[in-house]
Structure 1
């Protein structure tokens, strides 16, 4: 799964990397502890140019009368995203990229203590999560979810799921800018795309913020 991530790339850098026109109301950064239900920058296909826009992380199906009418859908499984009623139309018609600098996952000790890990790109400053989106409610508020898949070699020792991260060459296909089947893109990161290191337990709180959250753990007493 992917339930927490960081985004430290400045807005002008995201605009350049994704060749996207920015909205005026993008959430401010940097952010080192992005949580579900918050507004996040998302790249979607536009007319002549991609758009970088804010969306609520947590897709809300059209039949929800309130955002809390059912489960919080911040992830969608690659194996079933094309079939589940909450996701299938978005997977077919409204795919997006969700920029991140890295993401967190946890292991547990025998006594249940949660130990956080930080995953980041081996090369470059940004990851592009495969996402889907749809509008909800009378105000047509945009909402999104991150696609996850079975863990690959870098991730599997920490967790059995991971967010789908897309190489730049695959962005046009995922966004529907070129013809082709996008389903084969929903796979684990190849070996060499992601690096990982342990970080301090401060990030276990969803209220924590600051660059120290992604720093490699030095104090072994924090285990």
Structure 2
């Protein structure tokens, strides 16, 4: 799944990379969590100046998808992710997959490697970012939910897929990343049906991301500074802490050695 991510690039870089019309400034965010407002990119009805391509616009949505048919959000689970493999067949996401596909700008995401509980080892947080840096775009879905009183809330979810070989040792799922050359096709809900964009919902290339071990500061939503992404040393799986290493044995002349 994807339960935390960050968007730390300057707003002009975000708008430039995603070719979005917008001038509104927004701060760097190092610990974006469910239920918070997130920046999303949608395709508008207007054309770009000097082009016949549709204009993209940025807007805010609540991270936590609410289908239009939900009567009371309190009785509905928080949907922050949608599985790419099954979203088109799910009642919650079917309409959005067909009519309201979006991009979610990000600088990277956080994931936790969770050892078996019986191991006694604490989960380890990782900051997972593109090796080449820059702004990336997660595939997402949006829905505008209307209450019985008439108030409206724009909501969103991030699509996930099976993790690639590089991320799998940490977690078995990862966000779907849409490449810049595919932005137009993903956002085009008028001519591109879900089956025609299914090929975009694949794991990122093995060498696209790098995973950096970070402290558990990210676990707390109120922690929001750049120190969340500061690397920390982590023992490799199977390593024995120095104080637990067995004492060296005296060499036995009857045994051969490679050293």
Would the TM-score normalized by the shorter structure come out above 0.5? yes
Partner Cα distance (2:39, 2:14) in 1: 9
| Alpha-carbon offset, residue 197 of structure 1 | 1.1
Asked if the contact 2:143/2:156 (under 8 Å) is kept, the reply is yes
Deviates more, 1:173-182 or 1:42-51: 173-182
TM-score if structure 2 supplies the norm length?
A: 0.79
Asked if 1:118 corresponds to 2:127, the answer is yes
CA RMSD after TM alignment: 1.9
Asked if 1:145 corresponds to 2:151, the answer is no
Partner of 1:12: 12
Asked if 1:108 corresponds to 2:110, the answer is no
Q: Secondary structure at the match of 1:157?
A: coil
Q: Secondary structure at the match of 1:90?
A: helix
Q: Secondary structure at the match of 1:82?
A: helix
Q: Secondary structure at the match of 1:45?
A: strand
Partner of 2:184: 172
Q: Tell me the number of residue pairs that the alignment of Structure 1 and Structure 2 aligns.
A: 219
Partner Cα distance (2:177, 2:225) in 1: 24
Partner of 2:40: 42
| Alpha-carbon offset, residue 69 of structure 1 | 2.0
Asked if the contact 1:172/1:178 (under 8 Å) is kept, the reply is no
Asked if the contact 1:7/1:31 (under 8 Å) is kept, the reply is yes
Q: Secondary structure at the match of 2:34?
A: coil
Q: How does 1:61-140 map to 2 (within 5 A)?
A: 61-109=67-115, 110-111=119-120, 113-137=122-146, 138-140=150-152
Residues 1:219 and 1:74: Cα distance change in structure 2 (over 3 Å): closer
* Alignment deviations for residues 146-204 of structure 1 (CA, whole Å, 9 cap, x no partner): 00011111211100111101111111111017854111111100122111110111112
Q: Secondary structure at the match of 1:156?
A: coil
Partner Cα distance (1:209, 1:35) in 2: 10
